[in-house]
């Protein structure tokens, strides 16, 4: 089997089942938790609670036209590690693929949105109240100068060309990661990791209580085998709700 064939077999796209899990969690998060909680160990429930408590929607990251599935997967894995709940993929002519082997399961816990072109992506981010900033070597603003308390979406371009002219034009601004050596750029996954580490220093979450409850329910659905079917059946029967 060729290396490319192995990569394609290993690659993933966002799961169709995630949409129905989201719908059920939004409709009855407490019901999902009541149905699935007894099927999880106390240690697993505590771990999920700790993760949810440190999740952020204030900082989000995006990749535009990234070719290498290992780079895309590394960004997803790093986002999970730093509590960044949403990763956006702007395909812009490059079909999104990411390696399951590299994510090590992180793609189950991070929300991945795929956009075909830059304009709808930027419009949606602005409508949600976030500024879209692109990574650029010649930007006037250094990464540490960004306000970690402000809603931000940081966009990283592909390995060869960086950010497209269209997305650079649509964005609210640009930032740079200071460098002090001879090399002129970071690998895209390294750049994203530095940015998330800088702006997420100290951790801490910012989810409103209702969003935190919903995310907890979604994690229960993903942590229990056949979780959706079990929860949907219990809720349909009018099973008891979690307090």
Residues 6+ apart with CB under 8 A from 50: none
Strands (E) located in the chain: 11-12, 59-64, 86-90, 98-99, 111-115, 131-135, 152-156, 173-175
pTM of this prediction?
0.88
Domains in the chain (CATH in brackets) are: 25-55+210-243 (no CATH), 56-199 (3.40.1280.10)
pLDDT exceeds cutoff 50 at 225 = yes
* Per-residue pLDDT tens over the stretch 97-147: 776 666 667 788 999 999 999 999 999 999 999 999 999 999 999 999 999
Looking at the DSSP bridge assignments, the partners of residue 142 are 176
What are the backbone angles phi and psi of residue 81, rounded to the nearest 5°?
A: -60, -35
Q: Which pLDDT does position 242 carry in this prediction?
A: 41
Number of CB atoms found within 10 A of residue 193's CB: 20
Cα gap 56→54, rounded to integer Å: 7
The most confident of the ranges 12-21, 26-35, 67-76, 97-106 is: 26-35
Residue 39: its H or E element: none
pLDDT exceeds cutoff 50 at 240 = no
Q: Mean per-residue pLDDT for 145-157?
A: 96
More confident residue, 204 or 161: 204
């Amino acid at each position: 089997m060729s290396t490319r064939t192995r990569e394609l077999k290993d690659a993933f796209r966002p799961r169709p089942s995630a949409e129905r899990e989201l719908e059920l969690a939004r409709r009855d998060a407490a019901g999902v938790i009541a149905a699935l909680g007894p099927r999880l160990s106390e240690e697993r429930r505590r771990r999920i609670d700790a993760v949810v408590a440190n999740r952020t929607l204030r900082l989000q990251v995006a990749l535009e036209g990234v070719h290498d599935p290992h780079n895309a997967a590394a960004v997803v894995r790093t986002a999970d590690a730093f509590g960044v709940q949403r990763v956006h993929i702007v395909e812009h002519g490059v079909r999104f693929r990411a390696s399951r082997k590299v994510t090590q399961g992180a793609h189950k816990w991070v929300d991945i949105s795929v956009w075909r072109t830059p304009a709808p992506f930027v419009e949606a981010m602005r409508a949600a109240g976030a500024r879209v900033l692109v990574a650029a070597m010649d930007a006037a603003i250094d990464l540490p100068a960004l306000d970690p308390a402000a809603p931000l979406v940081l966009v990283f371009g592909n390995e060869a060309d960086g950010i497209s002219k269209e997305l650079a034009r649509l964005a609210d601004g640009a930032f740079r990661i200071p460098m002090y050596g001879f090399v002129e750029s970071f690998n895209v996954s390294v750049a994203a990791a530095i940015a998330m580490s800088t702006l997420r220093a100290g951790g801490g979450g910012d989810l409103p209580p209702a969003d935190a409850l919903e995310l907890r329910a979604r994690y229960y659905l993903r942590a229990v085998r056949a979780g959706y079917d079990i929860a949907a059946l219990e809720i349909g029967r009018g099973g008891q709700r979690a307090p």
